[in-house]
Structure 1
């Protein structure tokens, strides 16, 4: 059994054949998909999608790439929406995200940090884990997490980096999202790191339709590629495949409080 812990299944490229894709996912033993939000405009669409399909879960937040389109009141709306969802029995809202910092975009770091901290504070108040977007800002995000004493952990999405950095995030209660990057022969550093990290710290993700796997034959990445990412991870680890699969499945269920099997 698998969980794709990060997949933008609400994007337009999936809409036409979504029902067929969900059938294929079930046949591939991919039981659940977590859909992280990117902007306020699509929160209601994501909520509606996950209400329609019980195997889907979601997070709400504002991605750093979309901060230029933020409107007055969006943060208040985020908190009130999440609060209302938290009060619902068996809510499929499992995190706040995707949020973070990105040095490769034009939005100033001052603006990014302000919105990151505001969303982190909401997650702390509502006792929600967060899904982190981290691009060349590992040290700064670690610093901010420690300064704010954020205590509900979450996921470092699309992890790539050193064992030292990985362990710093793990100490703060974060799991590491492992995606298609490890299928690429050039990802030697990340592959080496993953050999030594505790299995209890790892999740599988595709970031579909983005983050292509090695020699991808399709235009878009797909959550159906989770087994290929799993195979690549198994090639790096010493544990038996069934042990790896069960532990990672349990990791995903634990950090996201998934109870529907």
Structure 2
């Protein structure tokens, strides 16, 4: 019931991010199903030919703008039947350092959306576990330290063949024996087995533009980026209470960026490191 209520609430909210000039604001259920009140088309006497399988429309957005506790968010949904997920860094091991550079090297018709995803060093290289195309470029980082990454438990977002998972680093170390097709390590975990990270207060003083990922019980990956500064606590509550996601991982803050080709949104900012790419499958 909560999921249904969320879907209905999302429909009623005004979109926050700018739409291309001359195009209407998109209205759609967040689960991708047709709206219940959508007008039906008049029956045609001429049979409709079966369309040739192609990539999903470049204008079909997987992202929706919503408001949660007065904070604007963009919520992007990846569904295994419609999308694949991969990690990117850059050609020949040289990081792109921006979504603009990645977009210039990519075919936007094949991309549902992309975000920066995972902590990195001054050169843009990951400081934690990182797997691209089943090749491990960085081993699991279990070291102690300062900063968000070391606010334990931290965690890993990974997957193979449409099975996507968020686990704490300790759980990943204890349970994952096969190398996944993709993986990125970040921290802290926002939600762990249905509970908010014990060191995250309800609404702490740190307010930044932040992004995160969580996987629900049906296997869908929920990517969220705030469109205004947000606390860790509020972002964690959105995952736990509204999306009912049991495990969610903070990806980055202050440099959080999104590329959504369907709405021509291409964020720019400080240099970034690892990039998570959600691609469209042929339909």
Question: Which TM class, normalised by the smaller chain length?
Answer: under 0.3
Normalising by structure 1, we get a TM-score of 0.26
Give the structure with the larger strand fraction.
2
Question: Quick check: which has more Rg, 1 or 2?
Answer: 2
Higher relative contact order (CA 8 A, sep 6+): 2
Give the structure with the larger helix fraction.
1
